[in-house]
Structure 1
Amino acid sequence: MKISARNCIKGTIKSITKGPIMAEIVLDIGNGVQITSVITAHATENLGLKEGKEAYAVVKSSEVMIAVD
């Protein structure tokens, strides 16, 4: 994966709370630190996000996005 964002933080998906339109993704980045992102339910499905899977928190400006390899 290549991305222009400078702040790409790898972690493990701890939980996914999915609603009809949006989903809350909690990423465990270690040492008891978690990052939470809210993305569309559709993006959650397209990325194949599942609890326990590794993913990245991509921080750009005021957004936190989720990315996978």
Structure 2
Amino acid sequence: MADFSLPKGIIKSVTSGMEETEVVILLPEGKELVTVFSNNNFDTLKPEEGRTAYAFVSDGRVMLLTDSGN
């Protein structure tokens, strides 16, 4: 799979489990990107519903970036 960037999206939902957190990002075309990561990473990133997010996908892995929240 080739590397590609996804456009800016909005975090639609955040669902935390015992060890992992699922984040759904609503993209401009109405499509959704779903990513799951460890709760340790969740504590660092602190994604919140309605917040702007950017995703970079490479070989089945997703790097999620959010705005500063200020």
Match of 1:20, SS state, is coil
Q: CA RMSD for the aligned pairs?
A: 1.6
Q: Deviations over 1:27-54 (max 9, x none)?
A: 0012221100011112122112100011
Any runs of at least 4 consecutive aligned residues in structure 1 with deviations exceeding 3 A, and if so which?
A: none
For the pair 1:27 / 2:21, whether they are aligned, the reply is no
Q: Which runs of 5+ in 1 are unaligned?
A: none
Picking from 54, 57, 62, the partner of 2:55 is 57
TM-score (norm 2): 0.78
Picking from 29, 46, 49, the partner of 1:48 is 46
Q: Which runs of 5+ in 2 are unaligned?
A: none
Number of residues paired by the alignment?
Answer: 65
TM-score (norm 1): 0.79
Q: Distance in 2 between matches of 1:38 and 1:18?
A: 9
